Amino acid sequence: MNDTIERARHFIRPYRIDDGRKFRLKDFDPNDTGGISSDIKADAKELLQGGIALLAEEQDRLYAQDRWSILLVFQAMDAAGKDGVIRHVMSGINPQGCQVHSFKAPSAEEMDHDFLWRCACRLPERGRIGIFNRSYYEEVLVVRVHPEILARQRLPPDLVGDDIWDKRLKDIRRFERYLHRNGTIVRKFFLHVSKDEQRRRFMERLDRPEKNWKFSAADVRERAHWDAYMDAYEQAIRATATEEAPWFVVPADNKWFTRLVVAAAIIDAMDSLKLAYPTVTDEQRRELAAAREQLLGEG
């Protein structure tokens, strides 16, 4: 177990952002594989399987201890592999202890609340892992790229100034600090896919009938705003990467490596909690002994 944890920390070190003040997205290569060549990918696969088994053990302790919760936030451009990462990395987790929410266009009810409301309603309970497939960060990403969405939110005009994005990012930073202070461990993942790789994956969805359902014409339209999205991501990560709620800028051109880095980051987060099963008191031991005697008597 300790070997798996140490190897996990080795993998995430280059991609973890605790302080975003000097962060530049161009310093991160979407095609990076951490020095693992394609001919030894089997090692990475073995590490991933070991990580999944370890996550299952840790999640069982998290659920039993019932003190901490974990929030995993996934953000990415279309076709970066969010769904696949969630499916593969969390494959060994007990569904009773995991809650997944996918945030799409807000409903009329959600639009009538503050921008954090719909996500705050779905935060994980103590003892559980919450997964946000997209999140409140959409409000400083897609809304920033498409300001006409902001106009539909019916905010008082005096509150919609040029500094609204800076204010929202500050609100997010404070919100995540609040979560941390109340026992929710926050880990955020930007799956960093290149524009060329996104195009290749879009073409695959078009060429393979069984993947046609995944394709939307809107995905192609959004490619026209690629540079604006990259700038919005850089600003968001720069403003909200903190020690208590770090970002992981995960290379996403190679799906096997993306999954490995995400698994390693979750392992590290759970290990930091020093999770343990609740201690059984003397009174509980006596109750257990009495129950044993009763069951033996029935036999």
Question: What total of structural domains would you count in the chain?
Answer: 1
In this prediction, residue 213 has a pLDDT band, given cuts at 50, 70 and 90, of confident
Burial 279-297 (b: 16+ CB within 10 A, else e): eeeeeeeeeeeeeeeeeee
Q: What is the dihedral of CA 100, 230, 242, 101, to 10 degrees?
A: -10
Could you report the per-residue pLDDT of 35-50, keeping only the tens digit for each?
876 655 666 777 788 8
* Residue 107: exposure state from Cβ atoms within 10 A (0-12, 13-18, ≥19): exposed
**What local confidence, expressed as pLDDT, does residue 67 receive?**
96
**What local confidence, expressed as pLDDT, does residue 93 receive?**
85
Q: Which domain holds residue 197?
A: 2-298
CATH number at residue 193: 3.40.50.300
Could you report the per-residue pLDDT of 64-114, keeping only the tens digit for each?
999 999 999 999 999 999 999 999 999 888 888 899 999 988 998 999 999
Strands of the sheet with 69-76, listed across from one edge: 16-17, 247-251, 184-192, 69-76, 129-133, 98-102
Whole-angstrom Cα distance, residue 152 to residue 155? 8
